[in-house]
A and B are shown apart, each in its own frame.
Chain A
Amino acid sequence: MSARYLTRKLATLVVTLYVTVSFNFLLFHVLPGSPIQLLARSGHYDPAARAQLIKLFGLNHPLLAQYFIYLRNMVHGDLGFSYVYRKPVTTVLGGAIGNTLLLVGTATLVTILVGVWLGVMAASRAHSLTDASITVTSLALWSMPDFFTGMILIFICGVWTHVLPISGLVTPGLVTGTWGHIVDVGRHLILPALTLTFVNAAEFSLISRNTLVDVMVEDYMLTARAKGLQRRTIVWRHALRNAMLPIVTATALYVGMILGGAIQVETVFSWPGMGLLIYNSVVQRDYPVLEGCFLLFAIAVIATNFISDLLYQVLDPRVRRT
């Protein structure tokens, strides 16, 4: 990886981040219907209270000055103050971020493993019954809204059979040691993670199947077969390595999808992460928290894209040279 490439990518990253932060400002502070302006304009305050409110949110400054104050706060990690929790937004987010990472991380890991495995199964028996059934099932699963998949799982595992807990992070009132706590959280994690996996693994299996089918007809695959290598070795070692690039791109792009799914899934299963926080802040009109969550999600996606760009360089010698 050349230093020049890295600098260029870093510069792009910084610019994108800056634009995102500014976009966020535009969305929440400038556009008509921006919540703080609405609040200050509302007729229910006496003039003193209104003046205080305007001063508190810095609305007495010209827009450009507001923008710079906003940027300065951003740099200092100040995301504002939650209306509902009466705590800094960063504190509120801090309590939720770990839970979301746990959920999304587990789901992503299982998704990639299962999705790629299914894709390989389908591609190595291309145009067979296995292939067709995997593809059709994937398409059907892909068409399901995440929250609906979650609701079905709740019916199956929670309402009809009671095998797994369907809501929250821990069993309320359960007192156990550290190990018992981990097991409890793990049991609560299964259904939400499974829901996210279903929808997204379908996506991955479709992508990896299609790229693998493309790779399988390349000349070097014929060479590998002519060398008398086993079918399994050919697929897993030679084909998959070359199909890795689109899969990495897909991973980066679908972080956005998985986060969108997390909002729905956390709502359905009352998983106390950022998705549930977004849902609650929408319901309670807690705009500073909503703003913080959105910013964090956007940054997460941008960062993943950046990493996947760098991974490209490592994975594919052809890109490295250019």
Chain B
Amino acid sequence: MLAIVLVVIMIGPIIFPFDSQSFGTSAASILQAPSRAHWMGTTELGQDVFRQFLVGGRISLYVGLSATLIAIVLGAGLGLISGYYAGWRDTVLMRITDFFLVLPTLPLIIVLAALFGQSIFVTSLVIGLTSWPQTARIIRSQVLSLRERPLVQRVRSLGAGDLRIMRKHILPNVAPLIFANLALVLSGAVLAQAALAFLGLGDPVQVSWGTTLHNAFNSGAMSQGAWWYVMTPGVGIVVMVLAFSLVGHSLDRVLNPLLRGEE
């Protein structure tokens, strides 16, 4: 499923290029129902929904990926430091984590995006900066148990420095956990991006699936009964999120030691 999503988004736009400058030229060309010429109908500007859909997926995925990268690096990094050093560093970092965990995420993202502008760069940054606490918590608890293992104790007695232990011995052991978490954070990031773009805080130039839905909603496509305009990007989001979360959940089940005994 994930493979299909990726293939469609990567190759689709090459086969069916989307020209954002080509608009419908007659009244009849706008909000057309699906036909052979326009597989998924046309928008309120007479643009092809299917082609826009293929390009939009790239933006959604791009924002999701870069946001996730930020979140994972932050989360894993803080989790690692917090779990490894324990003591006061741990207390301070975990207080901060708890604080961000409690703050309502979507409202915070909206506020930040409203304050700092609308580009895919800002969107990625903002989502990334708000999605890390969960990861930090999970990684920390795993590192806490790892650092007491004989392996780590032995390496330390051989005189290895903190940085070396973290890089060579702890990081490889939490890496699978990070990957499982990556897929879950990614699905959340795609959802957050969609919501942000739908509320009109997306990049107006780089049209993502959320932006398409925003345009559809605000152009009155709903009351015209233009279901193709809404369903195409919407189903795209659902399939992408579902694909990532299924991968995340199964990785989690296999790799998370807390869940492994189950079933």
Contact = CB atoms under 8 A, between A and B. Distances in A.
Contacts, number: 134
A27 B111 contact: yes
A143 B210 CA distance: 14
Instruction: Please classify how large the interface on chain A is, using the bins under 10, 10 to 19, 20 to 34, 35 or more.
Output: 35 or more
A19 B217 CA distance: 38
Contacts of B117: 33
A305 B231 CA distance: 37
Interface residues of B, number: 42
Nearest to B239: A143
B203 to A, nearest CB: 15
A283 B222 contact: no
Given A147-B213, A151-B222, A142 B199 contact: no
Interface string A255-273: 1110111011001100000
A12 to B, nearest CB: 9
A139 B245 contact: yes
Contacts of A5: none
B132 interface: no
B103 A301 contact: yes
Question: Interface residues of A: mostly helix, strand, loop or mixed?
Answer: helix
A44 to B, nearest CB: 20
Question: Interface residues of B: mostly helix, strand, loop or mixed?
Answer: helix
Contacts of B174: none
Interface stretch (B26-34, B37-45, B146-154, B190-198): B190-198
11 contacts: A33-B116, A148-B213, A151-B213, A151-B222, A152-B230, A154-B222, A159-B225, A263-B195, A268-B217, A301-B103, A305-B102
Interface of A: 16, 19-20, 23, 27-28, 31, 33-35, 127, 139-140, 142-148, 151-152, 154-155, 159-160, 213-214, 255-257, 259-261, 263-264, 267-268, 278-279, 282-283, 285, 287, 290-291, 293-294, 297-298, 300-302, 305
